C-alpha cells in the first residue's frame, strides 16, 4: 500500500510539473494582438500589453525574387543556423541599414513588428521593417527604448556619450528625446549583465510610424478586394485616418450603391446607410461611430477604412505593405 501511495504522489507531481511547464511555454510565446484598427498600431507608444515590440529572424540569403503585382517589393528566402526556412518581405517601407545591397550568401537580420498581422503559413513570412546585413565588426539592435533607454525585450540598455552619433533616418542630426522612439543602435562591445549595457557608436532614429517616412503616400496603395486588385479613386490620409472610396469597394463586394442627392446620403443594399458629414453609420438599425464622418472628395464618397470591418463586417480591412486589403479571408492576427 505504501508503494502505491508513493507512486500516486510521484505521478501527481510529474503531472503538475508538466502542466506548469506547458503554462510557462505558453507564457513565453509572443502572440500578436488581433488587429483592431488601422490606427492602433502606433509604434511611438511603449509596449505595455505585449512587452516585446520587435523580433528578428536571422539567416543566410538563399534566393531573391520580385513579388508578384507589387512593384519594388522583394521576397527573400533565408535559412537560419538550424536550417529553419523563412521568407523576408522587403517593401518600399523597409529601412535597410546603410542602404546596403542584399546579395545571395549574405547573413541578414530582418526585424518585424510582433503586433502587426501575420499570415499563418509555412515557411513563415516576415514583413521586415528593418533589415541589417550582419558584420563581425559591429552589432546592431532595432527596438523601442523606454525612458531608461532599455529595449522593449530588456536585452540592451544604452549609455549615450558625447561621442555617440545620433541622426534621423535620412542622416540629418537628431537632438530630440530617444525614449519611446524606434531606434537602430550600432555598437561594438557590451557588458554581460541583464540587460547588457553599451555605449553605442551610432543611433539612428526612425519615424514613429513607417507612414511618416518621406515619400510614403497612401494614395499609391493598391486596393485589393477579395484577393483582386480593383480600379478605384486613390485613398488618402486625413488626420491619421485612412479614407477609402466607398462605391468602388462596395460594388466589388457585390453591394448595390445608391446616392440620394436630397439628403446627401448613401445606401448599401437595404441595411447600411450613411450621410455625408455625419459620423453615424447605420447597419441593421444600429448606429456606429467611426474615426471620421464620410466625406466627398472630387464628387466621390470616402469613408474610413475601418468602415468595411466595423459596419460592413468584413473579416479584414487594413493597410499593410503598400496595399489596402479588404476581404473575408481568415482574420489576420
Instruction: CATH number of the domain at 267, please.
Output: 3.30.457.10
The answer to whether the beta carbons of residues 115 and 32 sit under 8 Å apart is: yes
Nearest Cα neighbor of 168 from 217, 198, 202 is: 202
Q: Report residue 81 as a C-alpha cell.
A: 543556423
Number of domains, the chain: 3
Residue 49 lies in a domain: no
Q: pLDDT per residue over 233-248, tens digit each?
A: 999 988 768 899 999 9
Instruction: CATH number of the domain at 116, please.
Output: 2.40.50.140
Main-chain dihedrals φ then ψ at residue 5, nearest 5 degrees: -65, -45
| Domain C-terminal end among 113, 133, 153 | 133
| Domain C-terminal end among 106, 133, 160 | 133
User: Do both 178 and 197 map to the same domain?
Assistant: yes
Residue 17 lies in a domain: no
Can you state the percent helix, strand and coil of the chain, rounding each to 5?
15, 40, 50
User: Do both 236 and 303 map to the same domain?
Assistant: yes
User: Do both 89 and 106 map to the same domain?
Assistant: yes
Q: Report residue 223 as a C-alpha cell.
A: 486596393
Q: What is the pTM of this model?
A: 0.52
Q: pLDDT tens digits, the chain, 333 residues: what are they?
A: 443 444 444 444 443 334 344 333 323 333 333 322 333 233 333 333 335 789 999 999 999 999 876 667 899 999 999 999 999 999 878 999 998 999 999 999 999 988 777 777 899 999 999 999 999 999 999 999 999 999 999 999 999 999 999 998 888 888 888 988 899 999 999 999 999 999 999 999 987 655 444 445 688 889 999 999 999 999 998 876 889 999 999 999 999 999 999 999 999 999 999 999 999 999 998 999 998 899 999 899 999 999 999 999 999 998 876 789 999 998 765
User: Do both 312 and 225 map to the same domain?
Assistant: yes
| Domain C-terminal end among 170, 186, 211 | 211
Full residue range of the structural domain in which residue 231 is found: 218-327
% of residues, the chain, pLDDT over 90: 60
Q: Report residue 99 as a C-alpha cell.
A: 542602404
User: Do both 247 and 314 map to the same domain?
Assistant: yes
User: Do both 128 and 146 map to the same domain?
Assistant: no
In this predicted structure, what is the pLDDT of residue 333?
Answer: 53
Nearest Cα neighbor of 90 from 69, 58, 57, 64 is: 64
Cis ω on the peptide bond leading into residue 195 (within 30° of 0)?
yes
**How far are the Cα atoms of 193, 257, 286 from residue 196, in angstroms, in the given order?**
5, 59, 53
Residue 168 lies in a domain: yes
Nearest Cα neighbor of 219 from 103, 137, 302, 310 is: 302
Amino acid at each position: 500500500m505504501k508503494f502505491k501511495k508513493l507512486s500516486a504522489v510521484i505521478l501527481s507531481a510529474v503531472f503538475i510539473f508538466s502542466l506548469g511547464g506547458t503554462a510557462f511555454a505558453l507564457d513565453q510565446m509572443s502572440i500578436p494582438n488581433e488587429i483592431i484598427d488601422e490606427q492602433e498600431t502606433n509604434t511611438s507608444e511603449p509596449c505595455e500589453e505585449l512587452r516585446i515590440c520587435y523580433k528578428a529572424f536571422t539567416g543566410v540569403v538563399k534566393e531573391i525574387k520580385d513579388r508578384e503585382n507589387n512593384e519594388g517589393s522583394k521576397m527573400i528566402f533565408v535559412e537560419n543556423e538550424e536550417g529553419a526556412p523563412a521568407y523576408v518581405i522587403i517593401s518600399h517601407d523597409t529601412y535597410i541599414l546603410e542602404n546596403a545591397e542584399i546579395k545571395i550568401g549574405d547573413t541578414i537580420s530582418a526585424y518585424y513588428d510582433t503586433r502587426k498581422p501575420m499570415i499563418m503559413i509555412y515557411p513563415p513570412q516576415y514583413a521586415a521593417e528593418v533589415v541589417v546585413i550582419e558584420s563581425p565588426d559591429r552589432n546592431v539592435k532595432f527596438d523601442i527604448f523606454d525612458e531608461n533607454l532599455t529595449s522593449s525585450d530588456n536585452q540592451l540598455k544604452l549609455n549615450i556619450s558625447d561621442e555617440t552619433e545620433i541622426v534621423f533616418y535620412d542622416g540629418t542630426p537628431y537632438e530630440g528625446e530617444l525614449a519611446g522612439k524606434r531606434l537602430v543602435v550600432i555598437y561594438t562591445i557590451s557588458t554581460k549583465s541583464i540587460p547588457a549595457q553599451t555605449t553605442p557608436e551610432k543611433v539612428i532614429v526612425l519615424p514613429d510610424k513607417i507612414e511618416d517616412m518621406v515619400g510614403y503616400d497612401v494614395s499609391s496603395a493598391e486596393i485589393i478586394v477579395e484577393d483582386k486588385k480593383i480600379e478605384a479613386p486613390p485613398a488618402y490620409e486625413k488626420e491619421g485616418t485612412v479614407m477609402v472610396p466607398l462605391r468602388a469597394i462596395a460594388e466589388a463586394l457585390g453591394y448595390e450603391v445608391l446616392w440620394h442627392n436630397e439628403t446627401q446620403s448613401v445606401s448599401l443594399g437595404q441595411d447600411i446607410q450613411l450621410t455625408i458629414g455625419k459620423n453615424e453609420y447605420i447597419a441593421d438599425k444600429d448606429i456606429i461611430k467611426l474615426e471620421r464622418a464620410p466625406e466627398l472628395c472630387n464628387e466621390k464618397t470616402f469613408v474610413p477604412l475601418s468602415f468595411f470591418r466595423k459596419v460592413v463586417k468584413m473579416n479584414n480591412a487594413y493597410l499593410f505593405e503598400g496595399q489596402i486589403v479588404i476581404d473575408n479571408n481568415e482574420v489576420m492576427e
